Amino acid sequence: MKYGLITHINLLLNVIILSACMGSTYYDDTSEFLRPENPISFNSCPNKEPQSYDGFTLKWSDDFSSNDLNQDNWNYMYGDGSLYDIPGWGNNEEQLYVDNSENIYVVNGCLFIIPTFKENIGYESARINTSEKFLFHFGRIDVSFSVPELTGVWPAIWLLPERNRYGYWPASGEIDLVETRNNASDELITTIHYGHDFHRYESKTTFLSQLSKLTNPDDHNIISIIWTEESVVWLLNNLEVFRIYFDDLPSIEPNPFVEQFHGLINVAVGGNFPGNPNSLEYCSARENCPDVKKLIIDYIAYYESDN
C-alpha cells in the first residue's frame, strides 16, 4: 500500500537521522538500543513517592525534585582518591570524580550519574555522600534506582561510618545496599565489611529474573535495608534477599554496626572488582546519552522504627 510504503520510508529516515545525530561510535542501526524491545529513553524518571510501611515513620528523604543537587543533603567527592589517602579509591579504579553537569545532574525528579570517557581526559564520573549532613542509624532505608549496563562499570549505593571509632576500614564497618558490575544487570550484590585483624566480609549475590532487571530506567527497583542492633536485612521490591545477624559473625566484637553511618552514591569505572572497561561503550558527553548508560536514583528515604 502507498501509505505503508511512505510510513516505512519515514521510519527508515528517522533511524538514519537518529544514528547520525548520536554518532556511530556509540549507536548505529544494529545497536541493541534501537531494537523495538529496547526503546531509547533519555532522562526518564518514574517519579514515585516514598512508600509507607507499618511500624516505620518516614524521617528524611530526597526525591530530587529540585533542578540541582540539594547540597543541604549531599557533598561532592573529588579526584582519584589521593585527596583522601586512598589512591585509586583502594581498588585500582580508573575514574576521576567530578562535580560537572556532564557527569552528575538532577532533572525530571531524578538524580543521574553518567560515567564518561574522553580521549584527552579518560574516565570521569561522580561520587556523593551525606557526611555531616544526614546520618543513618537503626531503621529502614529505601532507594529507588536503575543501574548502568556497561563493561567495567561499578555503581554502588552504600554506607560508611561517620567516625572510624573502631579503626580504619574495614574495622569500623561498611554496609553495601547494592552493587552491580559490568553488564550483569540481573546480579544484585549485597555485602557488609568488617574486621580488626584483617578484612572480613559477608556477601550475597542474588541473580534476578529479567522481570526484575536492574537496568530498566522506566520502572525502577527499590532496594531496602532494615537495620537493627541485632541484624541487617536486605529487600528488593519488599522481598527479602539477604539477612545477617551480627552475633553470627566471627571477630565482630566490638560491633561497629551500632554506630551512625553516612550514605554514599557513586559510579566507579574499572579496577579490581569489575575489571577493565571498554571505552567504546561509554558516552563522551551527556547529550544523547541513553538512560541505560546512567545510574538513576528516583528517591532515597529513611524511616525510623516506631518501636
pLDDT the model gives residue 133 = 98
pLDDT the model gives residue 119 = 96
- Please state the pTM of the whole predicted model: 0.86
Domains in the chain (CATH in brackets) are 63-305 (2.60.120.200)
In contact, 265 and 156? CB cutoff 8 Å: yes
Give the residue ranges of the chain where pLDDT is below 70.
1-39, 198, 209-212
pLDDT the model gives residue 206 = 83
- Using CA atoms, how far apart are residues 225 and 228, in angstroms rounded to an integer? 10
pLDDT the model gives residue 212 = 64
Angle (CA) 136 267 103, round 5°: 110
- Using CA atoms, how far apart are residues 86 and 106, in angstroms rounded to an integer? 28
Write down the number of H helices and E strands in the chain.
Answer: 1, 19
Separation in Å, CA 155 to CA 179, 295, 304 = 6, 7, 26
Q: What ranges in the chain are assigned the alpha helix state H?
A: 2-22
- Using CA atoms, how far apart are residues 102 and 287, in angstroms rounded to an integer? 8
- Using CA atoms, how far apart are residues 85 and 102, in angstroms rounded to an integer? 26
Residue in this structure with the C-alpha cell 535495608, named with its chain if needed: 225
Backbone angles phi, psi at 235, to 5 degrees: -130, 140
Kindly report, residue by residue over 197-250, the tens digit of the pLDDT.
767 888 888 877 655 678 777 779 999 999 999 999 999 999 999 999 999 988
- Using CA atoms, how far apart are residues 60 and 112, in angstroms rounded to an integer? 20
Q: Please compute, for residue 64, the number of CA atoms within 13 A of its CA located in the half-sphere on the CB side.
A: 25
- Using CA atoms, how far apart are residues 77 and 69, in angstroms rounded to an integer? 13
Cell of 239: 522481598
- Using CA atoms, how far apart are residues 68 and 145, in angstroms rounded to an integer? 18
- Using CA atoms, how far apart are residues 73 and 14, in angstroms rounded to an integer? 42
pLDDT the model gives residue 199 = 76
